Chains A and B, each alone.
Chain A
Amino acid sequence: MDFDLTDDQRLLKDSVDRLIADRYDFEQRKKARTEKDGWSRAMWAQFAELGLLGLPFAEEHGGFGGGPVETMIVMEAFGRGLVLEPFLATVILGGGLVRRLGSAAQQDALLPQVAAGKLLLAFAHVERFSRYDLSDVQATATRAGDGWVLNGEKSVVLHGDCADKLLVTARTAGGRHDRAGIGLFLVDAAAAGVSRKGYATQDGLRAAEVAFANAPAEAVLGDPGGALPGVERVVDEAIAAICAEAVGLMQCMHDITVDYMKTRQQFGRAIGSFQVLQHRSVDMLVALEQARSMAMFATMMAADEDETIRRRSVSAAKVQIGRSGRHVGQEAVQLHGGIAMTMEYKVGHYFKRMTMLEMLFGDADTHQKIVSEMGSLF
Chain B
Amino acid sequence: MDLNFTPEEIAFRDECRRFFRQEFPEAIRRKVLEGQHLTREEIVTSHRLLNARGWATPNWPKEWGGQDWSPVQLYFYQDEMQQAGVPSPLGFNTSMVGPVIAQFGNLATKERFLAKTANLDIWWCQGFSEPGAGSDLAGLRTRAERRGDTWVINGQKTWTTLAQHADWIFVLCRTDPAAKKQEGISFILAPMDTPGITRRPIQTIDGGHEVNEIFFDDVVVPAENLVGEVNKGWDYAKFLLGNERTGIARVGFSKARLKRIRELASLEHVGSHRIIDDPKFREKLSAVEIELKALEMTQLRVVAGDRKRDKGKPDPASSILKLKGSQIQQTSTELLMEVVGPYVMPFAMSDEGSGRNETGYGPDYAAGAAPAYFNTRKVSIYGGSNEIQRNIIAKAILGF
Contacts and interface: CB of A to CB of B under 8 A. Distances in A.
| Pair from one complex | yes
B205 A156 contact: no
Contacts of A131: 268-270, 341-342
Contacts of B129: 338
Contacts of A126: 342
B204 A343 contact: yes
A352 B374 contact: yes
Contact of B380 (A136, A334, A349, A359): A334
Given A129-B269, A156-B342, A344-B203, A276 B159 contact: no
Interface in A307-321: none
Interface stretch (B54-62, B130-138, B232-240): B130-138
A351 interface: yes
Nearest to A177: B271
29 contacts: A128-B362, A131-B269, A132-B342, A156-B346, A156-B362, A199-B347, A199-B348, A202-B344, A202-B346, A209-B361, A267-B135, A326-B334, A330-B377, A333-B381, A334-B386, A337-B135, A337-B385, A338-B382, A341-B211, A341-B381, A342-B211, A343-B202, A344-B202, A351-B205, A351-B374, A352-B370, A356-B344, A365-B281, A365-B284
B180 interface: no
Given A337-B134, A351-B374, A132 B203 contact: no
B264 to A, nearest CB: 13
6 smallest beta-carbon distances between A and B, as pairs:
A348-B205, A266-B136, A343-B203, A201-B345, A200-B347, A267-B136
A170 interface: no
A237 interface: no
B359 A199 contact: yes
B202 A199 contact: no
B377 A359 contact: no
A131 B280 CA distance: 17
A257 interface: no
A2 to B, nearest CB: 38
B346 A343 contact: no
Contacts of A342: 202-205, 211
Given A338-B382, A344-B202, A267 B139 contact: yes
B113 interface: no
Given A202-B347, A268-B136, 9 more contacts: A132-B342, A199-B347, A209-B361, A268-B139, A343-B207, A355-B373, A356-B344, A356-B370, A365-B280
Interface of A: 126, 128-129, 131-133, 136, 155-156, 177, 197, 199-202, 204, 207, 209, 265-268, 274, 276-277, 326, 330, 333-334, 337-338, 340-344, 348-349, 351-352, 355-356, 359-360, 363, 365, 369
B77 to A, nearest CB: 30
A88 to B, nearest CB: 13
Interface string B360-400: 11100000001101100110111001110010000000000
B41 to A, nearest CB: 26
Contacts of A209: 360-361
Contacts of A355: 337, 370, 373-374
Contacts of B360: 197, 209
Interface in B45-93: none
A126 B136 CA distance: 48
B381 A359 contact: no
A264 to B, nearest CB: 9
A308 to B, nearest CB: 20
A337 B361 CA distance: 33
Nearest to B363: A128
Contacts of A132: 341-342
A213 to B, nearest CB: 16
Contacts of A333: 377, 381
A351 B159 CA distance: 20
A352 B205 contact: yes
Interface string B118-144: 000000000001001011100100000
B342 to A, nearest CB: 5
Nearest to B361: A209
Contacts of A204: 347
B387 A276 contact: yes
A180 B361 CA distance: 29
Nearest to A136: B271
Contacts of A352: 205, 370, 374
Contacts of A276: 387, 390
B205 A341 contact: yes
Contacts of B134: 266, 337-338
Contacts of B135: 266-267, 337
B167 interface: no
A202 B355 CA distance: 12
A254 to B, nearest CB: 17
A202 B348 CA distance: 8
Interface in B181-215: 202-205, 207, 211
B338 interface: yes
B272 interface: yes
A277 B203 CA distance: 27
A333 B134 CA distance: 15
Contacts of A337: 134-135, 381, 385
B367 to A, nearest CB: 10
Contacts of B284: 365
A338 B159 contact: yes
A365 B338 contact: yes
A329 to B, nearest CB: 9
Residue of B205, B211, B270 with most chain A CB atoms under a 10 A cut-off: B205
B343 interface: yes
Nearest to B378: A341
A355 B334 CA distance: 10
Nearest to B390: A276
Nearest to B272: A177
Given A199-B347, A199-B359, A359 B341 contact: yes
Contacts of B281: 365
Contacts of B362: 128, 155-156
